[in-house]
């Protein structure tokens, strides 16, 4: 009897405290977001830092781009996040606007004995042929012609791709579709595709692990994974014909050279962009919010957070190997906010 | 006195009702799952019909979906696992019960039970980072050298693929099967064994003709327990199977299973038809498991008859 009494007391106590703390939470502002997993480490750090600075609580759930789009359309979150932009028509239909918040790059990585970081050069069409399974050996003339002076082994190429649906694959296949008609016709551009060759790893870490283990492998991972795992990356030929290395500067160059003003609804894919320094497989991660905001104070707080990310938090991003948006782009984004985001018919920003 | 009896009866009725409700709940949940799977996959079922089961095509871009490679991978990886795990478990269980001294059999028994408690993702990561490199460096080159003339051991020795998935699966189900088999052997009455020994039978003869025969039903039950676990195992397989939607005869090649496809592709499947096809894959797995269960029951029944008639 005594024990039951104690348990009852405990349960009541817990109930009281949760009810009470729930009340406190409801009073202070909480913003919920969900979506792409690629920017998750950064968004959660930003949210943590921002809460320390301002007290605004921001939750971000990494459930994948598809999930993020579904959640914002169901209005269960305040913002959604997606690695692949939505088309203007789809945005208008749902009453959403999108804007890029952060960038990253997709980097082809290889495991060939004796080949180090940035030693091997590839062009877009050759990369597509490798992933199509048409170029089968590392000493194939198509590769050797781009790499005069580099001794390439008579080794079978093992292609490694993502097995799970992912924004990274979307960006990568978008690039291959732009540079190879063959790829566009046979495979296409999506978050997961019917791969003509190779094996699939789960997640960036899965692809990185497979590439490191299979002699003669080539795969593609987010920039940060290539750096952290120290897997040799490939120099890629960009639209201007120059071979570039994946660096924060070359990703930003791609974003800077892209013609954002002419992209309706910020539908901009940063692959194969012009400019001598542009890395050809750059991608932005997008935020989706409703144009018509019910709670003006909440909307304003949310936009303030994004503004802080653009203006003050670039260094945090770089430390985690993400690429901040160039000023030119986010000024354009904020101009869009003041025009399009309304609450009760009145603009929310600035 | 009469009132007390009445209360007893009431409590009995109440208890019976509660118990039968709980039992019925299992069927309700099963039916619920089945209905939900059918509902969730009706688009794919009406679009692809029977060809869903016979097509190898799995293309989210063109929205063509067929389950054949996943079904094939599920069955092959499970078959490899059973081929390795069942004989090995049988030997382990026999050793523990018949041969090992108690001082040894107890700690080994605990170790096996502990093995069963390891989460599957740990097996997956161990498989990917430790076991796969070992296979590709030492085991697969040897297999290729001596058995490379068969279609089963061809292609580059990557260390990941169908064979690796099967071996990892066998390690995962081994503790389940051997633990149950050990219990089965322990239940063989000592009198039966002793009388066989008394007639001058050797340990091997007693094991083969008495222990195993006596526990046959239990042994088959144990194997199906392992099979049930292997067929739906997800994370460990996803790590090492290579995740490729193609069927190849070589066990070195990458493949996929129904569970691994679901684990990989569910999160980002935003198209309706894609999602429907994935749910239909789940339905297929459900039906395969059901079929295997029914087959097992029938087999056991037949066995009961033949053993009974002896």
pLDDT digits (tens, 9 = 90+) for A180-236: 999 999 999 988 899 998 899 988 888 999 999 888 999 999 998 888 888 999 999
Question: What is the C-alpha separation between A131 and A217, in angstroms, rounded?
Answer: 11
Task: Compute chain B's Rg from CA coordinates.
Answer: 24
Spatial neighbors of A190 by CB under 8 A, at least 6 apart, are A169, A170, A173, B60, B61
Is B265 close to A164, i.e. CB distance below 8 A?
yes
Q: Considering only residues 181 to 200 of chain B, which have any Cβ-Cβ distance to chain A shorter than 8 Å?
A: none
Task: Give the pLDDT score at B156.
Answer: 79
The owner of tokens 């978050």 is A191
pLDDT at B257 over 80: yes
The owner of tokens 């503004």 is A307
> Is B115 found in the same domain as B35?
no
Give per-residue pLDDT as tens, A316-339.
898 888 889 888 888 889 988 888
Q: Is B204 part of any domain?
A: yes
Residue of B130, B268, B272 to mutate when probing chain A, most A C-beta within 10 A: B268
**CATH number, residue B114:** 1.10.3720.10
> Which of A63, A201, A210 comes nearest B267 by C-beta?
A63
Distances (CA, A) of A31 to A18, A46, B88: 20, 13, 55
All residues of chain B having their beta carbon less than 8 Å from the beta carbon of residue A67 are: 267-268
> Is B113 found in the same domain as B23?
no
User: Chain A residue closest to B244 (CA)?
Assistant: A199
Give Dmax (Cα) for chain A: 86
Positive/negative CA dihedral, A340, A344, A345, A346: negative
> Which of A164, A194, A210 comes nearest B264 by C-beta?
A164
B156 touches chain A (CB under 8 A): yes
Q: Is B83 part of any domain?
A: yes
> What SS3 state is found at A349?
coil
> Is B220 found in the same domain as B77?
yes
User: What integer best gives the mean pLDDT of chain B?
Assistant: 88
Q: Is B254 part of any domain?
A: yes
Positive/negative CA dihedral, B133, B137, B140, B144: positive
Say if residue B125 is exposed, middle or buried (CB neighbours under 10 Å; 0-12, 13-18, 19+). middle
Q: Is B49 part of any domain?
A: no
> Which of B61, B254, B260 comes nearest A187 by C-beta?
B61
The owner of tokens 């990568």 is A172
> Is B18 found in the same domain as B81?
no
> Is B174 found in the same domain as B113?
yes
Q: Is the bond preceding B110 in cis, omega lying within 30 degrees of 0?
A: no
Give per-residue pLDDT as tens, B85-120.
999 999 999 898 888 888 888 898 888 888 888 898
Question: What is the C-alpha separation between A238 and A127, in angstroms, rounded?
Answer: 12
Task: Give the pLDDT score at B27.
Answer: 92
Backbone phi and psi for residue A220, each to the nearest 5 degrees, phi listed first: -135, 135
Task: Give the pLDDT score at A306.
Answer: 93
Is A165 close to B59, i.e. CB distance below 8 A?
no
Nearest of A27, A26, A31, A41 to residue A80 by alpha carbon: A31
Distances (CA, A) of A22 to A12, A17, A25, A28, A144: 15, 8, 5, 10, 64
> Which of A165, A195, A199 comes nearest B265 by C-beta?
A165
> Is B176 found in the same domain as B36?
no
The confidence band for A101, taking pLDDT boundaries of 50, 70 and 90, is very high
Is B267 close to A194, i.e. CB distance below 8 A?
no
For residues A37 and A162, the answer to whether their CB atoms sit within 8 Å is: no
Q: Is B110 part of any domain?
A: yes
> What SS3 state is found at A160?
strand
Which range, of A42-51, A160-169, A261-270, averages the lowest pLDDT? A261-270
Q: What is the secondary structure of A44-108 as a DSSP string? A: HHHHHHHHHHH--EEEEEE--HHHHHHHHHTTSSSEEEESSPPPHHHHHHHTEEEEEEEEEEEEE
Q: Is B131 part of any domain?
A: yes
Q: Is B248 part of any domain?
A: yes
> B56-65, B80-89, B247-256: which has the highest mean pLDDT?
B80-89
The confidence band for A106, taking pLDDT boundaries of 50, 70 and 90, is very high
pLDDT at B270 over 70: yes
pLDDT at B60 over 50: yes
> Is B274 found in the same domain as B150?
yes
pLDDT at B232 over 80: yes
Task: Compute chain A's Rg from CA coordinates.
Answer: 23
Distances (CA, A) of A185 to A162, A176, A182, B283: 20, 11, 5, 32
All residues of chain A having their beta carbon less than 8 Å from the beta carbon of residue B60 are: 165, 190-194
For residues B255 and B268, the answer to whether their CB atoms sit within 8 Å is: no
Nearest of A227, A252, A207 to residue A321 by alpha carbon: A227
All residues of chain A having their beta carbon less than 8 Å from the beta carbon of residue B270 are: 66, 69-70, 191
* Domains contained in chain B, number: 2
User: Chain A residue closest to B254 (CA)?
Assistant: A199
pLDDT at B299 over 70: yes
> Is B224 found in the same domain as B127?
yes
Is B60 close to A190, i.e. CB distance below 8 A?
yes
> Which of A70, A188, A198 comes nearest B270 by C-beta?
A70
The owner of tokens 């099979």 is B227
Task: Give the pLDDT score at B296.
Answer: 87
Task: Give the pLDDT score at A134.
Answer: 92
Positive/negative CA dihedral, B35, B283, B53, B222: negative
Counting one residue from A and one from B, how many pairs have CB atoms under 8 Å apart?
96
> Is B140 found in the same domain as B6?
no
B141 touches chain A (CB under 8 A): no
pLDDT at B171 over 50: yes
B131 touches chain A (CB under 8 A): no
> Is B176 found in the same domain as B31?
no
All residues of chain A having their beta carbon less than 8 Å from the beta carbon of residue B156 are: 156, 158, 214, 216
Give per-residue pLDDT as tens, A116-152.
888 899 999 999 999 999 999 999 999 999 998 888 8
Q: Is B243 part of any domain?
A: yes
Portion of chain B with pLDDT greater than 70, in percent: 96
Domain assignment of residue B114, given as a range: 68-309
E strand or H helix that includes residue B87? helix B68-94
User: A99 forms bridges with which residues in the sheet?
Assistant: A287
For residues A283 and A83, the answer to whether their CB atoms sit within 8 Å is: yes
Give per-residue pLDDT as tens, B172-219.
999 999 999 999 998 888 898 889 889 888 888 888 888 888 888 889
Q: What is the ipTM of this complex?
A: 0.79
The confidence band for B31, taking pLDDT boundaries of 50, 70 and 90, is very high
Task: Give the pLDDT score at A24.
Answer: 42
> Is B157 found in the same domain as B23?
no
> Which of A164, A188, A201 comes nearest B267 by C-beta?
A164
> Is B24 found in the same domain as B161?
no
For residues A109 and A205, the answer to whether their CB atoms sit within 8 Å is: no
């Amino acid at each position: 009897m005594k024990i039951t009494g104690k348990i009852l007391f405990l349960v009541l106590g817990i109930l009281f405290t949760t009810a009470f703390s729930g009340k406190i939470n409801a009073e202070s502002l909480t913003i919920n977001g969900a979506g792409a997993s690629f920017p998750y480490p950064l968004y959660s750090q930003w949210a943590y830092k921002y809460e320390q600075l301002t007290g605004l609580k921001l939750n971000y759930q990494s459930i994948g781009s598809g999930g993020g789009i579904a959640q914002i359309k169901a209005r269960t979150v305040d913002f959604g996040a997606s690695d692949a932009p939505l088309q203007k028509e789809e945005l208008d239909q749902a009453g959403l606007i999108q804007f890029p918040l952060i960038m990253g790059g997709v980097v082809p990585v290889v495991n060939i004995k004796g080949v180090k970081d940035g030693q091997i050069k590839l062009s877009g069409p050759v990369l597509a042929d490798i992933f199509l399974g048409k170029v089968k050996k590392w000493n194939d003339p198509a590769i050797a012609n781009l790499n005069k002076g580099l001794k390439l082994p008579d080794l079978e190429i093992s292609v490694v791709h993502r097995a799970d649906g992912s924004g990274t694959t979307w960006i990568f296949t978008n690039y291959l579709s732009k540079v190879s008609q063959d790829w566009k016709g046979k495979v296409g551009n999506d978050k997961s595709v019917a791969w003509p060759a190779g094996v699939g790893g789960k997640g960036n870490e899965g692809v990185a692990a497979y590439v490191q283990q299979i002699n003669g492998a080539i795969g593609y991972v987010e920039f940060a994974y290539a750096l952290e795992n120290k897997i040799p990356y490939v120099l890629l030929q960009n639209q201007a014909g120059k071979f570039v290395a994946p660096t924060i500067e070359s990703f930003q160059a791609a974003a800077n050279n892209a013609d954002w003003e002419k992209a309706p609804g910020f539908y901009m894919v940063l692959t194969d962009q012009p400019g001598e320094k542009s890395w050809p497989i750059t991608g932005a991660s997008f935020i989706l919010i409703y144009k018509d905001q019910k709670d003006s104070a909440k909307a304003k707080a949310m936009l303030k957070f994004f503004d802080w990310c653009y203006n003050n938090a670039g260094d945090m991003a770089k430390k985690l190997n993400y690429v901040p948006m160039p000023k030119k782009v986010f000024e354009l984004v904020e101009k869009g906010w003041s025009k399009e985001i309304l609450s009760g018919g009145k603009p929310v920003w600035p | 006195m009469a009132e007390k009896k009445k209360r007893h009866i009431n409590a009995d009725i109440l208890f019976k009702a509660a118990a039968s409700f709980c039992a019925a709940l299992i069927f309700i949940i099963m039916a619920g799952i089945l209905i939900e799977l059918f509902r969730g996959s009706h688009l794919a079922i009406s679009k692809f019909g029977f060809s869903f089961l016979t097509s190898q095509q799995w293309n989210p871009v063109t929205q063509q979906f067929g389950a054949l490679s996943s079904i094939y991978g599920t069955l092959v990886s499970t078959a490899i696992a059973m081929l390795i795990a069942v004989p090995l478990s049988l030997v382990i269980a026999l050793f523990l019960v018949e041969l090992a001294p108690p001082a040894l059999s107890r700690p080994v028994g605990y170790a096996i039970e502990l093995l069963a408690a390891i989460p599957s993702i740990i097996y997956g990561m161990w498989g990917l980072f430790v076991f796969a490199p070992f296979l590709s460096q030492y085991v697969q080159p040897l297999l290729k050298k001596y058995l490379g003339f068969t279609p089963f051991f061809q292609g580059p020795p990557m260390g990941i693929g169908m064979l690796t998935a099967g071996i990892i699966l066998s390690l995962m189900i081994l503790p389940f099967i051997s633990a149950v088999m050990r219990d089965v052997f322990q239940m063989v009455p000592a009198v039966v064994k002793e009388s066989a020994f008394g007639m001058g039978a050797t340990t091997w003869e007693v094991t083969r003709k008495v222990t195993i025969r006596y526990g046959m039903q239990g042994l088959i039950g144990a194997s199906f327990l392992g099979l049930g676990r292997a067929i739906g195992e997800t994370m460990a397989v996803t790590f090492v199977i290579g995740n490729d939607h193609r069927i190849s005869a070589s066990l070195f090649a990458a493949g996929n299973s129904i569970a691994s496809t679901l684990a990989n592709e569910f999160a980002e499947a935003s198209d309706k038809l894609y999602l429907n096809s994935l749910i239909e894959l789940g339905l297929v797995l459900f039906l395969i498991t059901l079929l295997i269960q029914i087959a097992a029951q029938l087999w056991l029944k037949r066995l009961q008859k033949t053993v009974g008639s002896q």
